[in-house]
Structure formats: C-alpha cells, structure tokens
Amino acid sequence: AQSVTQPDIHITVSEGASLELRCNYSYGATPYLFWYVQSPGQGLQLLLKYFSGDTLVQGIKGFEAEFKRSQSSFNLRKPSVHWSDAAEYFCAVGGNTGKLIFGQGTTLQVKP
Amino acid sequence: DTAVSQTPKYLVTQMGNDKSIKCEQNLGHDTMYWYKQDSKKFLKIMFSYNNKELIINETVPNRFSPKSPDKAHLNLHINSLELGDSAVYFCASSQADRTGELFFGEGSRLTVL
C-alpha cells in the first residue's frame, strides 16, 4: 500500500535551533518525494522535491531534505529556525500521474 | 495577481443544499486538481483534469461533480450536501511534465450545518 508517515504530529523548537522533521514512505515504484508548507489560512507551498540524482536536495527558505532509499525516508532539515517558519509541514510521495499521497502533517511551533 | 484563485473562501450552508466552488489558474498549466483536507488535516486527492479531460477520479461520491470549461478553470459542484462534506477544499495546478509540483489555491472552507 502507498502511504506516508510523519511520526511527529507536533514539534516545538526554539528560534535559532536546528530542525529535523521526519518522513517515511511506502511506495511501489520509484518515488517522487516532496515537502510542502502550509501557513495558517493559506494553501500549500512547495518547499523542495526529489525526483532523482543527488539525494540531498535544497529548497526554498533554507530548507534541505535527504532521500534515503534504504530507510524509505525523506527527512526535512533546517540548521537555524526562524519564527516565521512556524507552520504545518507536509511530506508527500507520488509518481508521474500528479496524484500525491500526503502525510498527516507536522505542526511546527517556534519559541522566541 | 494570485496564481491559483478559489471562490468562495468560506461557505456555510445547510444539509441537502447544492453548492459550487470555482477555481482559476493563470499559470498556463495543463493540469488542475481538487484536494480535500479534513478536520484532521489529511489531504486527499479527489479529481485531476488535464486539458479539460478527467484523468484522476478517486473514490468520491457521485454527489461531487467537477467541471472544466477550459484548461484554466476547474469548478467543483456538490449536490445534496452532507455533514461529512465539511472540509477545506483545495484547488491546485501543475505543468504536465512537472507532476507533483503543485501550486495550491488558498482553499475553500465548507461548513455544512
């Protein structure tokens, strides 16, 4: 079955601290992997994507993610979190049809 | 200019009513989608259109009917609304060769009383 698991429903970090959001997936074919961010009352915005090639991908807003095929993971990282990073983060997996399977999301809270 | 715009942003209605949500994109994309986000934040695809042709139709009740008059517009009509239809409905678009790189609208929050 195709699925995405984000084990952490809610994470709180202090501003300036590093961040890692976890994502594990199950997908029968070669996965396309994505991280999206949703600010309150807004739509989702693409942070970064992995299709193939270098397993460490860079995205917008200083985020990066690493694809680890052996662990079926695609964790999102940021070295220093800013208060404006507080939002909902969604990991997603898909193929070439445009149909994405989303995880349940991780709510990031940033303490001053 | 908003890239993907949906109207209305909020919709409150009674059970049994019929309602529509409209979506327009000015990105020149070929593919448009409807996603549903429930109260637990789960996002699930409902429909996908490519150049006005339906290509993804998930297990969605027949009460939901998408319509794409042209590739820049994808509307969602819902008949006989039920309490369980309460959710946030997101429209999105993508270029056909960049599937998965979706541009989302701000969502339409539907509340059925």
CB-CB under 8 Å, A44 with B100? no
Look at residue B95 in the predicted model and tell me its pLDDT: 87
CA atoms within 13 A on the CB side of B85: 27
Q: A69-78, A102-111, B52-61 — which is least confidently predicted?
A: B52-61
Residue range A32-64, pLDDT digits in tens: 999 999 998 888 999 999 988 899 999 999 999
- Chosen for mutation from A99, A101, A104, A106 (greatest number of chain B CBs closer than 10 Å) is A99
| Window B:13-72, CB contacts with A under 8 Å | 31, 33, 40-45, 48, 55-56
Give the minimum alpha-carbon distance from B89 to chain A in angstroms, rounded to a whole number.
10
Tens digits of residue pLDDT in A87-96 = 999 999 987 7
Give chain B as a DSSP string.
Answer: --SEEEE-SEEEE-TT--EEEEEEE-S--SEEEEEEE-TT--EEEEEEEETTEEEEE-S--TTEEEEEEETTEEEEEE-S--GGG-EEEEEEEE-GGGTT--EE---EEEEE-
Beta carbons of A96 and B44 less than 8 Å apart: no
- What 3 state SS string does chain A have? CCEEECCCCEEEEECCCCEEECCEEECCCCCEEEEEEECCCCCEEEEEEECCCCCEEECHHHCEEEEEHHHCEEEEEECCCCHHHCEEEEEEEECCCCCEEECCCEEEEEEC
Q: What is the pLDDT of residues B9-64, one digit of tens each?
A: 999 999 999 999 999 999 999 999 999 999 988 999 999 998 888 888 887 899 99
Q: CB–CB of A43 and B45 under 8 A?
A: no
* B106 contact A CB<8A: yes
A107 pLDDT band, cuts 50/70/90, is very high
Contact A49 B33 (CB under 8 A): no
Confidence of residue B98 (pLDDT cuts 50, 70, 90): low
Q: Give yes or no for residue A80 having a pLDDT over 80.
A: yes
pLDDT digits (tens, 9 = 90+) for B75-87: 999 999 999 999 9
Interface of A with B (CB under 8 A): 32, 34, 36, 41-46, 49, 88, 90, 92, 94-100, 102, 104-105
Which band of pLDDT confidence, cut at 50, 70 and 90, is reported for residue B101? confident
pLDDT at A95: 76
